[in-house]
Structure 1
Amino acid sequence: MKPEIIDFPKIQDPRGNLTFMQYSSQIPFEIQRTFWTYDVPGGEIRGGHAYHQQEEILIALSGSFDVIITKEDGTTEKFSLNRSYYGLYLPAKTWRHIENFSTNALALHISSKKYFKEDYIRDFEDFKNLFK
């Protein structure tokens, strides 16, 4: 699989809209962990890693940010997230970092695995070696 945008259902109502997600109709894995990043100072970058096994979905609940995917050959692809009714699916072994956070950006991370330090790939050379 490759990174891709997932559109979530959007129920429009004059009193306010509602979006939801559930396994397995909107997300391809059972949720084991959620966390969020916020109050990121201007110019800061988050991420800069991949996971051996963990899959993830990133959603901009508020504000906006860019997710930069770096492939093992060094080429990049940018996904701009700025709506709460879609998210970016990141399969395992996807190198990413997040940048260009707007004021009051709130990023929701939905993960297929519980936190496990050894699942992280933090060195890009180690990441590239996985594909040799």
Structure 2
Amino acid sequence: MKDTTIDDISLISIPKIKEVRGNLGVIEGDVIPFEIKRVYYLYDVPSDAQRGGHAHKELYQFLIPLSGSFDIKLHDGINKKTIHLNKPDKGLLLVPGIWREMDNFSSGAVCLVLASQKFNEADYIRDFKTFKSFKR
């Protein structure tokens, strides 16, 4: 999707059930606007490491900081934005056509990713110059 912008990215509150025994986050129904086809997570990321460094042509993702915190640097071809994720009841909906880089991982950070499609290398744009051309 060439015409997506940073304004199409949103933080979504994850419904939770609060109890004295601990909270329960629930993702079902229309909490996120796609059917989940793939689930993976990042963990044990060194604090000085970067993840991401790509964009997707069609894939939607929902990122949840299950533990700890990290930053997501976003670029839509024109505008830039950095979002700090650190609450497991708030997830970031990423739309296609947005370049993303993740860094500043805290010790013990875990990022859960829910994706709209199974892995497909052809959906990735891994070079920023190619991404800028794709957005034009």
- Tell me the TM-score normalised to structure 2 length: 0.92
Please list the CA deviations of residues 70-92 of structure 1 after superposition, one character each: whole Å capped at 9, or x if unmatched.
1202x320111111111000001
Q: SS of the counterpart of 1:130? A: helix
Residue 125 of structure 1 corresponds to which residue in structure 2? Answer: 129
**Partner amino acid, structure 2, of 1:18:** L
Aligned length: 130
Q: SS of the counterpart of 1:54? A: coil
Following superposition of structure 1 onto structure 2, how do residues 1-132 of structure 1 map, counting pairs within 5 Å?
A: 2-23=8-29, 25-73=30-78, 75-132=79-136
108-117 or 75-84, which moves further after superposition?
75-84
**Partner amino acid, structure 2, of 1:61:** L
Please list the CA deviations of residues 89-123 of structure 1 after superposition, one character each: whole Å capped at 9, or x if unmatched.
00011110111000000000110000011110001
Q: SS of the counterpart of 1:115? A: coil
Question: Percent identical across equivalent pairs?
Answer: 41
Rounded to whole Å, the distance in 2 between the matches of 1:94 and 1:22 is 25
Rounded to whole Å, the distance in 2 between the matches of 1:131 and 1:117 is 19
Rounded to whole Å, the distance in 2 between the matches of 1:79 and 1:57 is 14
Gaps of at least 5 residues in structure 1 are none
Regions of 4+ moved over 2 Å? none
| Displacement after TM superposition at 1:45 (Å) | 0.5
Two-structure CA RMSD over aligned residues (Å):
1.0
| Displacement after TM superposition at 1:34 (Å) | 0.6
Rounded to whole Å, the distance in 2 between the matches of 1:84 and 1:131 is 32
